[in-house]
Structure 1
Amino acid sequence: MAIKKLLIANRGEIAVRVVRAAQGLGIPTVQAHSMADADSLAVKMADEAVDIGPPHAAKSYLNIDAILKAARDTNADAIHPGYGFLSENAAFAQAVEDAGLIFVGPRPETISRLGDKAAAREAAETAKVPTVPGSDGLIESTEAAKDAASRIGYPVMIKASAGGGGRGIKIAENESQLEKLVSEARNEAQAAFGNGALYMEKVIRNARHIEVQVLGDGVNAVHCFERECSLQRRRQKVWEEAPSAALNDSQRKAICESAVALARSVGYRGAGTLEFLFDDASGEHYFIEMNTRIQVEHPVTEMITGIDLVAEMIRIAGGEPLRFQQSDVTLNGHAIECRINAEDPSNNFMPGPGVIDRLSVPAADHVRFDTMLYEGYQVPPFYDSLLGKLIVHGPDRQTAIDRMAEALEGLTIDGLKTTIPLHRELAKAAPIRSNDIHTQFLEPWLEANPIPSE
């Protein structure tokens, strides 16, 4: 059943991205928005717009009843959740289907299964995908945690099963720390996610964060190669690349085939990302979790494959089978994405909204800027600080870095502090140019290399 009208239940740059993809397919769009986003770029671009509530997300973008009513009132027959908010909420996906609408994403039961990290780990093991040594399922008590840790070996990572975005994680170096941190982690997980369930994994020091993009139609699945996301601050990605320059051909083949094996084993439908830790020392990869949605960093994959991932999501949700086989997906060059946030990197990344006084984006075939900004736009204070993503493509990694440095010099966003100065410094940094990075690299580097104020 082809989609006739699509409601976007999100905001910011991803809402703009979905509007463009849908309109490119000839599908009319409805932008659901909070009162604070009434003058957003997505609202201006969409064919229709509907107010779903007050600025605070709990009363608008997280309000399932309001979103379903907006779809009914505008005769939309499908809902795209973007990323964040309700995008990985199985209850929302089920409510959309129960209302007779199309959810642009996986089936509710798939979201539920893979959204629970312990269940996702079990699914990976069933599909014979390597996993980080860890607990057998959830940890029910401190004694069980100690038994698991003695088997796994310290240091261990205590993780909230319902966590995400780097939240709900504690690292214990020894048994005395473990005893204290288990109860802390359980209490924090319960408060943050409404679910205090925990599991445990061995800590792999100086690992890389490598993720694989997959597309599935519920029967078949393909990968669109991998992304390197090791440059992180407080477990939030800052700079992403595709492909990973750390992998050789056999390692790339192994990690991508692992991702496809898991996607096929669960009958995955839509776009999804499987996240792995990669151990440079051993060359081994370990599955850690799956994101059952489009990722912020999806543009770098689009740049190296030529595949419009958001459009493919919409096609698949509308009932179309995958339009290509694995052999049709080819890798071309190297792409880098810098997340541009409304934060001051010279002042401990203090976030701050403001009015966009001037916006100038470099124009070149190899440069893309996914954003919600326009001159005169008032950035609201209620939401994530992401303003946009600067993406460049080159025939190889060094050329891509050079092009990113040039593009950053040409990108101007006046009216508020942004992380552009951070990325200008990163593009010059010798360890990044030599690819000597890992998930624990960026924070010590920032302490040693404070970003100058602009």
Structure 2
Amino acid sequence: MFGKILIANRGEIAIRVMRACEELGIKTVAVYSELDRDALHVQRADEAYLLGPAEAAKSYLNVDKIVEVVKESGADAVHPGYGFLSENAAFVERLEAEGITFIGPPASAIDAMGSKTKARELMQKAGVPIVPGTTEPVDTYEDALRIAKDEIGFPVAVKAASGGGGKGFRVALTEDKLKDAFEGASREGEKFFSDGTVYLERYLPKPRHVEVQIIADKHGNCIHLGERDCSIQRRHQKLIEEAPAPPWVVDEELRAKIGQIGIDAAKAVNYVGAGTIEGMLQDGEYFFLEMNTRVQVEHCVTEMVTGIDIVKQGIKAAAGLPLEYQQEDVVLRGHAIEARINAESAPMNFAPTPGAIGEYLEPTGPGVRVDSGVGAGGVVSPQYDPMVAKLIVWDADREQATQRMRRALSEYKIEGLTTLIPFHATIFATQNWAEASTCSELLEDKEWLKSTAPAEPVVPVEQDDEETVTRDYVVEVSGRKFDVKVHGTAFAPVAGAAGAAPAGPAPKKRSERKKAAGGGADDLPSPIQGNMWKVVAKEGQEVAEGDLICIIEAMKMENEIVAHKAGTITTLAAKEGEPINTGDLIATIKAADA
């Protein structure tokens, strides 16, 4: 077994892995960006090392720095969690070359399943059913149009070959929408995965998203742990998951069938560790969608109904130990539900709502589990994923688990931050949920989404009033000199002090800094904080209400900002490629009769 593991991640998944390591008697190493200096995962680990600036590319995705820290810390293995480098075959190959164990599948499995086109071709050869479509990349819009018209038909889904998590997924319901879908999927694939390659699939309009959890060891053993139903999604990203699926959706016969599909898929790539086969279920037919070659966000509900610690099993498999369970040992008991507590506003079409947290109180009691990565005084940054926590409940059946979830949600207190708690409280009370609908009819209803707004408006918590800075010093300890960075409160130097900079005004407190101007009815302010990804409109352009003005990237999501009224754009303040804050002016639109 390993003596020390480096967790190449942050937030709740880093803490989840640390808990497993602690129970196995393994020391833990945390890594962090400058923005995460005070994060809970940094405080919990036995050791912690700075990777670099807040930008993920310079910290959590910095392979050279992570390898350097592994060597400096003496860690035996790296656990990637999910996201970041968890499905990066080149990263795994680098670790293998350095003699460092990766807790997960071999690079060959990641590579095979990382490209959706390769995976579809491989699964087809292995006898695993796939959604009808292409198994080769589609190079041009003209090719896509021909294939869609002659071979697949509309509606058609355009997907990034290296996509995942809802990124690089666009749907063309009709022929005239295909060009936008093709270009949008390719753009997102290039942006998020450095790969603009796309392929086409038949679009299944109302499928259920059902996936199966598998675990495999290095000795050829592989089992499945039953299925999860993850059909409630926004923008093709999950909001609520449950295990097992409702009994009228998946019976014992279908469970055995899709479980075997999962095992066959894993064995086809010599898989090792925890992984998930995602599939689409429609009219009794089950189709392979993709394989997530890592532990998933929603692994918790499977743990609750099987009693099997998936993270621990993944660590043991990487250490070369055989599986502790055979298929007949896996028994599903009761029902578990997970609600993702994200910093998002459902009434604003799930726009990210980063900010500071004041008071923070998690629900407790029988059958309640919370996996979180923040606490009182913490900050949800626009730099990273909007997840605050995962609320998981278990009870004897789906109806009782739902009641327990509603009780737990009522106990959750997060001061100062807009979250999905009111949304979850509302949806779990609907007949749609009780009947196990995919709830797409609700999620696509803007008026219903507005009804999920909290009864009382959320009052943002003022962040630390003092500006912080980082200064470099040279210190001498026992005759040796060390370069040291000190991160703390900024202050105005005292005039005349030795070595002090010229006196000047003290840095402004946050409350004194210039706020975004509040606009009138003609002004379109930014509803979120992020980066201006693309400006579509032009100054002087006439627009109708609902026309696309720009796209803001925030928390790994592209958010389309549309005109709030019809008229002429007299001012276009948005600048492509620049950061933007909540309340900043995007455009001024004046009606023709104004």
TM-score relative to the length of structure 2 = 0.73
Task: Report which stretch shifted further, 115-124 or 346-355.
Answer: 346-355
Match of 1:151 in 2: 151
Q: Do the aligned partners of 1:232 and 1:442 also contact (CA within 8 Å) in 2?
A: no
Match of 2:204 in 1: 204
SS of 1:163's partner is strand
1:222 alignment partner AA: I
Q: Distance in 2 between matches of 1:76 and 1:318?
A: 13
2:306 alignment partner AA: T
1:377 alignment partner AA: G
The structure-2 alpha-carbon separation of the partners of 1:185 and 1:344, relative to structure 1 and needing over 3 Å to count, comes to closer
For residues 93-142 of structure 1, give each alpha carbon's deviation from its aligned partner in whole angstroms, at most 9, with x where no partner exists: 11111111010111011101101001111121122111101114222344
Q: Distance in 2 between matches of 1:229 and 1:58?
A: 30
Match of 1:221 in 2: 222
Task: Report which stretch shifted further, 233-242 or 186-195.
Answer: 186-195
Q: Do the aligned partners of 2:108 and 2:269 also contact (CA within 8 Å) in 1?
A: no
More RCO (CA 8 Å, sep 6+): 1
1:420 maps to 2:403:
no
1:299 maps to 2:297:
no
1:263 alignment partner AA: A
2:210 alignment partner AA: I
Match of 2:360 in 1: 359
Q: Do the aligned partners of 2:167 and 2:188 also contact (CA within 8 Å) in 1?
A: no
Match of 1:75 in 2: 74
Radius of gyration: which is bigger? 2
For residues 256-289 of structure 1, give each alpha carbon's deviation from its aligned partner in whole angstroms, at most 9, with x where no partner exists: 111111111211101111110100xx21110110
SS of 2:233's partner is strand
1:44 alignment partner AA: Q
1:397 alignment partner AA: R
Q: Do the aligned partners of 1:121 and 1:131 also contact (CA within 8 Å) in 2?
A: yes
Question: Where does 1:309-328 land on structure 2 (aligned, <5 Å)?
Answer: 309-328=310-329
Residue 350 of structure 1 and its aligned partner are, at CA, apart by 3.7
The structure-2 alpha-carbon separation of the partners of 1:445 and 1:143, relative to structure 1 and needing over 3 Å to count, comes to closer
1:248 maps to 2:259:
no
Residue 184 of structure 1 and its aligned partner are, at CA, apart by 4.9
2:88 alignment partner AA: N
1:92 alignment partner AA: F
Match of 1:89 in 2: 88
Residue 17 of structure 1 and its aligned partner are, at CA, apart by 0.3
Q: Which has the higher helix share?
A: 1
Residue 87 of structure 1 and its aligned partner are, at CA, apart by 0.6
For residues 174-231 of structure 1, give each alpha carbon's deviation from its aligned partner in whole angstroms, at most 9, with x where no partner exists: 4444356435543443344322222111011210111111101141211111111111
Question: Where does 1:24-423 land on structure 2 (aligned, <5 Å)?
Answer: 24-149=23-148, 150-178=150-178, 181-218=181-218, 219-245=220-246, 246-279=249-282, 282-423=283-424
Residue 62 of structure 1 and its aligned partner are, at CA, apart by 0.6
For residues 18-60 of structure 1, give each alpha carbon's deviation from its aligned partner in whole angstroms, at most 9, with x where no partner exists: 0100111000000111121121111111111111111111110
Match of 1:8 in 2: 7
Q: Distance in 2 between matches of 1:68 and 1:152?
A: 45
Structure 1: give runs of 5+ residues left out of the alignment: none
Q: Which has the higher strand share?
A: 2
Q: What percent of counterpart residues are identical?
A: 45
The structure-2 alpha-carbon separation of the partners of 1:299 and 1:212, relative to structure 1 and needing over 3 Å to count, comes to same
Task: Report which stretch shifted further, 350-359 or 23-32.
Answer: 350-359
1:319 alignment partner AA: G
Residue 169 of structure 1 and its aligned partner are, at CA, apart by 2.0
Following TM superposition, the consecutive aligned residue runs of length 4 or more in structure 1 with deviations greater than 6 angstroms are: none
Q: Do the aligned partners of 1:104 and 1:313 also contact (CA within 8 Å) in 2?
A: yes
For residues 406-450 of structure 1, give each alpha carbon's deviation from its aligned partner in whole angstroms, at most 9, with x where no partner exists: 110011111322111111001101101111226x44422454342
Q: Do the aligned partners of 1:343 and 1:351 also contact (CA within 8 Å) in 2?
A: yes
Residue 143 of structure 1 and its aligned partner are, at CA, apart by 4.7
Q: Distance in 1 between matches of 2:347 and 2:175?
A: 38
For residues 311-365 of structure 1, give each alpha carbon's deviation from its aligned partner in whole angstroms, at most 9, with x where no partner exists: 1111111111211111111101110000001223344434333333222222223
Q: Do the aligned partners of 2:393 and 2:401 also contact (CA within 8 Å) in 1?
A: yes
SS of 1:50's partner is strand
SS of 1:223's partner is strand
Q: Do the aligned partners of 2:168 and 2:184 also contact (CA within 8 Å) in 1?
A: no
Q: Distance in 1 between matches of 2:135 and 2:317?
A: 35
The structure-2 alpha-carbon separation of the partners of 1:275 and 1:7, relative to structure 1 and needing over 3 Å to count, comes to same
Q: CA RMSD in A?
A: 1.7
Q: Distance in 2 between matches of 1:82 and 1:359?
A: 25
Count of paired positions: 450
The structure-2 alpha-carbon separation of the partners of 1:61 and 1:433, relative to structure 1 and needing over 3 Å to count, comes to same
Structure 2: give runs of 5+ residues left out of the alignment: 457-594
2:147 alignment partner AA: A
SS of 1:100's partner is coil
SS of 1:428's partner is coil
SS of 2:320's partner is coil
Q: Distance in 2 between matches of 1:191 and 1:199?
A: 17
Residue 374 of structure 1 and its aligned partner are, at CA, apart by 2.3
The structure-2 alpha-carbon separation of the partners of 1:379 and 1:158, relative to structure 1 and needing over 3 Å to count, comes to closer
Q: Distance in 2 between matches of 1:60 and 1:335?
A: 35
Q: Distance in 1 between matches of 2:238 and 2:447?
A: 17
The structure-2 alpha-carbon separation of the partners of 1:422 and 1:36, relative to structure 1 and needing over 3 Å to count, comes to same
Task: Report which stretch shifted further, 283-292 or 350-359.
Answer: 350-359
Residue 89 of structure 1 and its aligned partner are, at CA, apart by 0.6
Q: Do the aligned partners of 1:160 and 1:199 also contact (CA within 8 Å) in 2?
A: yes
Match of 2:520 in 1: none
The structure-2 alpha-carbon separation of the partners of 1:235 and 1:64, relative to structure 1 and needing over 3 Å to count, comes to same
1:98 alignment partner AA: A
SS of 1:287's partner is strand
